[in-house]
Amino acid sequence: MRNLIAVATDKDRKSIWKGHFGMSPFYSIFDNDGNLIEQKENPYAKGNKHHDDPNLIVNLLDNVYLFIAYNMGKKSREKLTKELGIKSLLVDAEDIYSARDYFLQARKNIDVFEECTEKYEEWFDKYSAIYESELKMLKAIIPKFERALEIGVGSGRFAAPLGIKEGIEPSEKMAQIAKQRGIKVYPGFAENLPFMDEEYDFILIAVTICFVKDPKKTLKEAYRVLKKGGKIVVAIVDRASEIGKEYLNKKEKGRFYKYVTFFSAEELQDILKETGFEAENTYQTLFGKSIKEINSPQSFKEGYGEGGFVAVVAKK
């Protein structure tokens, strides 16, 4: 069973290796709690000949499920994820411990979903009117597409009814449920999508942007894998709304939202613009002061400032 983490390590055994992951002189092996177990020498890094076969490293690191690197080729990342089931994470770090800490920080929200999978699913049943309101709006505003991806597909609650067949998801328990709903789920992180450039003509990010370690890097990656002229829909709980303020209070009290970054609609539009997207329209639903007051599905309308659930439609 693969349950360890490998960080590409330079010859001093302290610095992160900045060349290609497969040519790293050493690999620092950590357990899932971040404890250093060993530093394994890479026999394929000797000499100047570069190899491009991820299978060699996967077999060498036979107990590792996550490769953390400063640099890794797109094709290698794609093969690792799609064919070999290995997660990869690129980090802008100088030493192996900073790289490890980046992952441990990013994993905090992932752990919540791993531990609260049943509660997550129960929420949609308990607040079915909320879910139906959000889903109705998304169904109406997403464009026609040939190939679509949901970033942070979770258990497939949005992707499945919207006809989105592919998703990226770091939580294994959530991914298992999404697979049962007919979604092809790739293991990985929103900040480092294991796909080549311009593969999709539509991308959905439904609230996930609030849970990722680096929202701006996530949107840059979405821009990269989206085809020219392709569309993205990013949905959030608008922190400037009455319902958004209710969620902010939950952030202070509950574990599920402890590490979440809530955005306002204006802040989301700014980040989309900064990462190259052109916002086309904004839509909102969930009107009221509390989700507890919403007992039947609501309609939606253009704009923002009133509804708690806001979605921005943008174009590459």
CA gap 205, 163 in Å, rounded: 14
For the chain, 316 residues long, the average pLDDT of each consecutive 10-residue run is 94 96 96 96 80 87 96 90 92 96 90 89 94 98 97 97 97 96 96 95 96 95 98 97 86 72 96 98 96 94 97 98
Cβ-proximal residues to 246 (8 Å cutoff; 6+ apart), any chain: 289, 290, 291, 308
Strand order in the sheet with 301-302: 184-187, 166-169, 148-151, 200-206, 226-237, 309-315, 278-285, 301-302
Indicate the domain borders of the chain.
Answer: 4-105, 116-315
Check residue 51 and give its pLDDT: 67
Q: Which helix (H) or strand (E) holds 134?
A: helix 128-141
Check residue 108 and give its pLDDT: 86
CATH of domain 116-315: 3.40.50.150
- On whether the CB atoms of residues 250 and 201 are closer than 8 A, the answer is no
Check residue 49 and give its pLDDT: 64
Check residue 158 and give its pLDDT: 98
According to CATH, the topology of domain 4-105 is Nucleotidyltransferase; domain 5 (3.30.420)
Q: Strand, helix or coil at 128?
A: helix
